Amino acid sequence: MRVESFFGKDIAPLIPRLAELRIKVFHDFPYLYEGSLDYEKDYLKVYTNSSRSVLVAAFDGDTLVGAATALPLSDEADYVRGPFLKAKMNLDEIYYFGESVLLKEYRGHGLGHQFFDGREAAAKKFGFHTTVFCGVQRPSDHPMKPEGYSPLDEFWKKRGYVKQENLRSEFSWQDIGESAETKKPMIYWMKSLC
């Protein structure tokens, strides 16, 4: 196992493998994502278009088994930036964490912490004071929620992140079994690096 960080345009060669990994991991609850490689490759260009983006990648040999991304919030799409603009927050101080995906068989061995460490190190390297990410909010009685499912809230709290009830957004994607995209409520978590 090895974990490496890639920045800006150096992320480009990993985009196809990251797209496949996102589809596989986000297929599970709570995302239930029915993705396509073409959509993913287009969506992930945001990381190669930003000179201050990072991809923290975990490899088992040459196989990409996990990855976490981040970039300046100002480089993200309007639907991500919207709640922060509405709250009159300075986007130039906020580093946004995108996906964090890891195959099931590699979980529980500290890679999640390495993903946060790598992204927080990149935020500091690029002069950001705040890091933020968001997670989908599914109903507690969702019919596809697996037995024994536990959200990652406690892990995020231990990393120093605080749930921001006032910062909410909606992201659209196609759920498993749906014929079209629908909006999903997202809530942000934030940490000060100062």
pLDDT tens by residue, 19-46: 999 999 999 999 999 988 999 999 999 9
> Which domain range does residue 9 map to?
2-142+150-192
Q: In the predicted model, what is the mean pLDDT of the chain?
A: 96
Q: What is the mean pLDDT of residues 140-160?
A: 93
For position 76, what pLDDT does the model report? Answer: 96
Tokens 């890679």 map to which residue?
Answer: 111
Domain with residue 101: its CATH number is 3.40.630.30
For position 35, what pLDDT does the model report? Answer: 87
pTM (two decimals)? 0.95
Number of domains making up the chain:
1
Residues 6+ apart with CB under 8 A from 174: 33, 34, 35, 180, 181, 182
